[in-house]
A and B are shown apart, each in its own frame.
Chain A
């Protein structure tokens, strides 16, 4: 009797211990499988969400060219189908990388999103009209469930370096794809050569020289301008081959401590204010003046620049730093993409330069980063598409992660 009881107790203890051990063992692959399924679902969601963003223009369809609040989030160009994005809707996205810039000339504490890429080309858009990240999450119906970051990067990086600054001006153009040199590509270039007048009554102006070269096996081409001496210039290069188009630029001026900065005031009326850089973030003294001359150019089918009349008396004038001093505003003439070119000159000096502002994010191949920060997230799924923005080839990359409920392995 005692032996049977002992047998019973020992077997029960061993059985319970074995069950507990095996529950622990089995739970490991089950938990891993759940995590796998979660990640798989996240990956599927990433692909779906990316198509949702890229294949619908949003509501209303022209929200990128208006002041209205978007009721639906989408970036497709309403005039096209498939993966062609609106260069203007992208301008209304609140940038998640650039610092905000304060410009108080009109009223205090007015901030602008800064998508500038160094000196010479800038894009400042009103933060009050920007679609911010949290609003886009709500419009996509994923607030509190997912976080995302959308990155749009030009397929072709066109970089220009100055081999020799003058007499002759010698420039090297490098075109590189995301995975390969852009060998044998045609480079259509536009040299915007600025003339700084000697008298105060005249305004700085420019002339354009166009040309075509071809890149070598390393994707590099050189251009020389023997007749250019002591140049103040901007240089824009379009690299294209078999439907893949990239654009790059370079500017050189004799005055870089004082310069003009175009600021988009209103997307709907396409009004642009020309600011003195001393007025940005109240970084300089008041009372410094710059003469300027503003023009708007569009890129034609053969990659030359064609000027459109601004039709505004403010296209030439003087901008002076300091609150209370006048600031010019220019309405841009068209809803098509283009480049605002502003030549400037310090008053009473022969120092000056040229700055550009793309109207439409693709005109100077500005990259876009919009959304949250994926760093530190548990698991981030990504997906990519090739898209066309204003004729320029971009790669759209969406990074997506779970928010709220986290499934960890």
Chain B
């Protein structure tokens, strides 16, 4: 199946994929909407990354998604690449999976039996493998509607535009009075066989009364420990764990600034 094709066609050109039949879903109408309804933000699976990037709603209320939309591929890739493809390809190097883990998103899978929803945390089962059945397609991304005093941030280190990330960190927080971190989601990109939900880091910070610099350091350390990176041309495993920790601290501080309305 082909949507934006910005991962599949390069794979086909390298003969890493040789499908005997391709179904182009680009012309299915109604799958490129971005809207808030009820207590959800709904993003159609065929929404192009450039449309996400240009969306005022996303930029103002879901900056973590906007951050990621700006750093995926390059501008030409973003003109075709889709939200659904970035998620359902199951590539641990893709950026939206970590963002969706941080946001606690759900995905709508549509097939002959109708629709079902799959939680982001249950979706990324292995490298290039997701929880969709062979006869299902991802049709919609559902994100819990942004609540007051919530904010998020996505940061990644890349050597050059459109390269795979050395590492990426997505953090979404909700603060309550007194600076308590009421809720937190942490997702990691490119440091394991799938995007990683850093649950221990989340558990440690959730409900914490004080989010001083020592607390942020510990959050960062835990996220680094939960990453499981492979050594490659972008760095050793130990280096990448340090990058995760560094980006976690920065992303958490930025997410808190945004939650407080400071930026």
B is bound to A: no
